[in-house]
Amino acid sequence: MTVLIEAKIWALEQRQQADRLADEWGEGTHLVFLTREGNYPSTAVTSRDRWRRITWSAIAEIVASGVSTMRDCEPGVKEPPAHS
């Protein structure tokens, strides 16, 4: 399974970006448009029905939920273990 995530924060879409990505990656690819507002890509004219949208806050909730169910998991920056 292939998932393509097009993540946007402040950047605008390039001309025909969503349709071009959909064409380049083919029908078997799951397309996700990740934005602050959860909007559809404006450049998805022929591929709009293939795109799923999600917000950054939804991603944060998913991660927080997963972390809360894991034992011995403390969010934050960790140093890699020292190798002998």
pLDDT, averaged per 10 consecutive residues of the chain (84 residues), comes to 92 95 94 95 97 95 80 61 60
Cα separation, 22 vs 58, whole angstroms: 23
pTM value? Answer: 0.75
Q: What is the pLDDT of residue 80?
A: 60
Q: What is the pLDDT of residue 73?
A: 62
Q: Is 20 helix (H, G, I), strand (E, B) or coil?
A: helix
Q: What is the pLDDT of residue 31?
A: 97
- Structure tokens belonging to residue 26: 């083919």
For residue 24, CA distances in Å to 4, 16, 50, 80 come to 11, 12, 13, 37
Q: What is the pLDDT of residue 68?
A: 74
Q: Is 53 exposed, middle or buried (0-12, 13-18, 19+ CB in 10 A)?
A: middle
Kindly state the greatest CA–CA separation across the chain. Answer: 56
